[in-house]
Amino acid sequence: MIRFAIITVTYNAADCIERTVQSVLAQDYPAVDYLVVDGGSKDDTPAIISHYADRLTWWCSEPDRGIYDGMNKGIEQVYALSRKDGEERYVLMLNADDTFYSRTTLSEVAAYIAQQQDRPDVVAGSWMLHPEHGAYLNHPGDLSRLPHRYVLCHQATFVRSSVLHDNLFDLRYRLAGDFAQLSSLYLKGYRFAVCADIVICNMMLNVGATERHWRESVHEAFDVVRANGCYRWGAETWLLCRKGVVRLIKRLLPQSLSNALFAWLARHYKTM
């Protein structure tokens, strides 16, 4: 049986961590390990996690060096489990406040993997994006573009535990470590499979670190693009300008008008 491991890394997320935990525990697939890595939260997050301790495979609450350090801790724990019982896991990073799209998500992914002639190293699905003005279904893009730009959603992408253990997150990145890792796996020739018909998660926008530090996120992403040898002159400036205009409009327009405008743009142009 295909086994999964879900890792949630969190910090001061008392307002949202419970719905993430519940969405994992509600999955109808039996072979799932769930690990929660808390960065030493100062709010009620540890108390909420501890309420579910008997249903978690492993959890901790201790200071770390950021979200990717927390993810690496979870990966090491999953790898130890795999070494102990000889069963490799497909690992998904489901962030605090994100949830599985349905209670059958893991069953659907397991069925898809079982149908593949060769077990893929990376399995990417679709995701439902939730900005403040609606909800929009997003599909994986052209994988050949992965070294150039985000075409996958990290929270909708499963990676073999052994592959992750050999390719831990680069802690030089604070916000673009997932892009760096996935693009590196592609460039190294690992086997990718895309199950675009399966919606993996609900991804909440405008609440995470990447959105709060959007300029730094863009700069980091283009550092990755440069490292991949795919940088195009002017692309970084254009993206910064576009994102800046979006935020200026949101500040100037009343929220009702702003939401209506960006809902229309999202429907017609997939522009966020």
Give CA–CA dist 97/23, Å, rounded: 10
For 29-57, what is each residue's pLDDT tens digit? 999 999 999 999 999 999 999 999 999 99
pLDDT at position 205 over 90: no
pLDDT at residue 267, rounded to an integer: 63
With 0-12 / 13-18 / 19 or more C-beta atoms within 10 angstroms meaning exposed / middle / buried, residue 84 is: exposed
For 182-194, what is each residue's pLDDT tens digit? 999 999 999 999 9
Domains belonging to the chain, first-starting first, are: 3-231 (3.90.550.10)
Instruction: Give the pLDDT band of residue 119 (cuts 50, 70, 90).
Output: very high
With 0-12 / 13-18 / 19 or more C-beta atoms within 10 angstroms meaning exposed / middle / buried, residue 225 is: buried
Give CA–CA dist 216/234, Å, rounded: 17
pTM: 0.89
**Number of CB atoms found within 10 A of residue 210's CB:** 20
For 153-173, what is each residue's pLDDT tens digit? 999 999 999 999 999 999 999
pLDDT at position 271 over 50: no
pLDDT at residue 272, rounded to an integer: 36
C-alpha separations of 194 from 113, 169, 250 in Å: 10, 22, 34
Q: Are 135 and 129 in contact (CB under 8 A)?
A: yes
